[in-house]
Amino acid sequence: MYKHFIPGLFFCFLLIIWELLVKLFRIEAWLLPPPSAILFSFWESGSLLWLHTDRTLIETVAGLGAGAVSGFILAVAMDFSPFFKKLLYPFLLLTQTVPFITLAPLLVIWFGFGITAKIILIAVVCFFPVALNMKEGLESTDKNLQKLVRSLGGDSRKIFSLVKLPSSLPYFFSGLRIAAAYAVLSAVISEWIGSDRGLGILLIRSSKSFQTDRVFAVIIFIAFITLSLVRSIDLLGKKIIPWHYKYYKDGVKI
Amino acid sequence: MTSPVLEVKSVNKTYEITENKRLKVLDDVSLELKLNEIVAVVGPSACGKSTLLDCISGLSVVDQGQILLHKNPLNGRTGKVSYMMQDDVMLPWKNLKENIMLPYEVNGSTIPPEKTDFLIKLFGLRKFMGFYPGEVSGGTKQRASLLRAYVSGHEVLLLDEPFGKLDAITRHGILHWFLTIWQKKKLSVLLVTHDIDEALYLSDRIYVMSASPGKIISEIKVPFKRPRTDDYIATPQYSGLKLRLLNLIAG
Ligand SMILES: Nc1ncnc2c1ncn2[C@@H]1O[C@H](COP(=O)(O)OP(=O)(O)O)[C@@H](O)[C@H]1O
Ligand SMILES: [Mg+2]
């Protein structure tokens, strides 16, 4: 509790300074609204925010899900087939440097302004961190643990289910965590290109009409959604892989 | 004369460290293990003792030579002998109970609870059953991994430094249990140890290995009658044997 108290206090202090400076120098609200105006905007545009949130959330979750599942499957397939790994891994490494967000206009040409193009883009963006992390997790599995299951007569499928899969779950979740942040970002940006609904389009509209207080409100809301998503993934990870958090108590291997 | 349960015949093993760096670990190693025998393998560290057990268990493939179980070549098949590896390997995501029962899980068979409950208590493991390996001491893990090797149920038992991390009292209890089940179940045990007193207390014969590359340089019959109570240690024969072993290991 105390840990959050001091930074919280400091944050309130900054907000007050902001409020006072805006008032003192009579800065126009469309240039920089005071925190109080932003707060009011939350109340005023609350229903509007929710209206646009559902679309963005659906895109984010669907895209993240599709990307994570296919990334997971590819990593597992590469683990089972060395040939497959040799074939695909160079591409995987190469494509890591491609900013996939730039595919958005192309996807619009192919799939239109609907939700499909957005989900595909998010899935592509989320695919890589999950696939790469999962692959690394599978490869870094302790050889002794694999030896143990093999010595008991276990085949490669047993080794996978009893050793490799649980061992690489922490890697999977750290990939998923990165992907979640990318997913919200990609949803917002792809909505900029064109959409009838979504937080991204609300942001652009508010900006074009110089409703700067609402721009701030939407930005804060997007940050809040990203944070909640990452938090949920962390909680899910803690539930599914408790040994990881016990084994590494306070970040130290015990 | 009973025929050997396990035979290691002229086994050679070389590890490929990098493309042009190779390490010969086992050099023409031969040994045998008869039914209901305890045979110890002693030798300086890194001489290839664990590698030898890896080869017998089928985890490592030999370069040359043969490993026969009841005259049948094993050809790198695993799951035919019980093997307790050196480092008390435990799956970190399973609690101690699940780790001990792993042989059943791997082979998809059901667990006879009464039998294992008794053993868990005897091993002093009851209160740790729900703990993860990361939460218990090295000695506790060692007992659990010995129990797991026993639970996997084969007549040949390979043990790699199985009692090293136990405190004196636990060790006494476990050695007693070990000798009892060894006789009752007619187990044939190949025991790697660096503790000469332990080898002399437990085994019928001792193979001495030389430093790298590992070679069998001597085979010694342990003459003491079982059950070995403390008085055999006081004999001049005992100190003579011990000195001889120490000299052999030192090279
Ligand atoms: N998988 C491996 N790859 C390469 N070298 C190994 C491997 N396992 C063991 N070695 C090396 O082989 C030698 C013998 O190891 P080991 O059999 O563990 O000896 P011991 O059990 O007698 O201490 C050591 O030098 C060790 O570093
Ligand atoms: Mg060893």
Number of domains composing chain A: 1
Residue A43 lies in a domain: yes
Nearest Cβ partner for A246 among B79, B80, B134:
B134
Q: What is the pLDDT of residue B30?
A: 97
Question: Does residue B50's CB lie within 6 angstroms of at least one atom of ligand 1?
Answer: yes
Q: Using DSSP, state whether B132 is helix, strand or coil.
A: coil
Task: Give the CATH number, domain containing residue A42.
Answer: 1.10.3720
Residue A27 lies in a domain: no
Q: Beta B216-221 vs B82-84: how paired, if at all?
A: unpaired
Q: What is the pLDDT of residue A246?
A: 60
Token pair for B72: 């049948």
Question: How far does CA B126 lie from the centroid of its chain?
Answer: 24
Peptide bond just before B227 cis, omega within 30 deg: yes
CA distances from A56 to A114, A125, A184, A253 (A): 12, 16, 8, 39
Chain B residues touching A244 at Cβ < 8 A: 93
Residue A64 lies in a domain: yes
- Residue among B91, B95, B136 with most chain A CBs within 10 A, to mutate: B91
Question: Does residue B61's CB lie within 6 angstroms of at least one atom of ligand 1?
Answer: no
Q: Which residues, numbered 195 to 214 in chain B, qualify as contacts with chain A under a Cβ-Cβ cut-off of 8 Å?
A: none
- Adjacent-strand bridge partners of B190: B39, B158
Token pair for A229: 């998503």
Q: What is the pLDDT of residue B38?
A: 97
What number of H helices and E strands is found in chain B? 8, 10
d(CA A107, CA A119): 10
Rounded (10°) angle between helices A104-111 and A165-193 = 80
Q: Which domains does chain B have, with CATH numbers?
A: 1-75+190-251 (3.40.50.300)
Token pair for A41: 């905007």
Nearest-CA distance A139 → chain B (Å): 16
Pick the closest to residue A54 from A163, A195, A240 (CA basis): A195
Return the residue matching tokens 């009892």.
Answer: B180
**A207 CA to centre of ligand 1 in angstroms:** 66
Chain A residues touching B105 at Cβ < 8 A: 162
Would an 8 Å CB–CB cutoff place A150 in contact with chain B?
Answer: yes
Residue A152 lies in a domain: no
- Is residue B53 within 8 Å of B190, Cβ to Cβ? yes
Long-range own/partner contacts, residues B216-222 (CB < 8 A, 24 or more apart): B216/B29, B216/B30, B216/B31, B217/B248, B218/B248, B219/B31, B220/B244, B220/B245
Q: Ligand 1 pocket: which of B17, B50, B208 to mutate (most atoms <8 Å of CB)?
A: B50
Residue A82 lies in a domain: yes
Pick the closest to residue A56 from A167, A48, A164, B234 (CA basis): A48
Q: Using DSSP, state whether B156 is helix, strand or coil.
A: strand
Would an 8 Å CB–CB cutoff place A252 in contact with chain B?
Answer: no
Token pair for B132: 């993860």
Q: Beta B82-84 vs B38-42: how paired, if at all?
A: unpaired
d(CA A43, CA A31): 20
**B62 CA to centre of ligand 1 in angstroms:** 14
Host domain of residue A45: 34-129+171-253
Residue A140 lies in a domain: no
Residue A155 lies in a domain: no
- Adjacent-strand bridge partners of B68: B7, B73
Residue A61 lies in a domain: yes
Q: Mean pLDDT of all residues in chain B?
A: 92
Q: What is the pLDDT of residue A250?
A: 45
**A189 CA to centre of ligand 2 in angstroms:** 57
Per-residue pLDDT tens for B156-191? 999 999 998 888 888 888 899 899 989 988 999 999
- Closest atom of ligand 1 to CA, residue B43: 22
Q: State the complex-level ipTM.
A: 0.92
Residuewise pLDDT in 10s, chain A (254 residues): 677 899 999 999 999 999 999 999 999 989 999 999 999 998 988 899 999 999 999 999 999 999 999 999 999 999 999 999 999 999 888 887 888 888 888 998 999 888 999 999 999 999 999 999 999 999 999 999 999 999 999 999 999 999 999 999 999 999 999 999 999 999 999 998 888 899 999 999 999 999 999 999 999 999 999 999 999 999 999 998 877 766 554 445 54
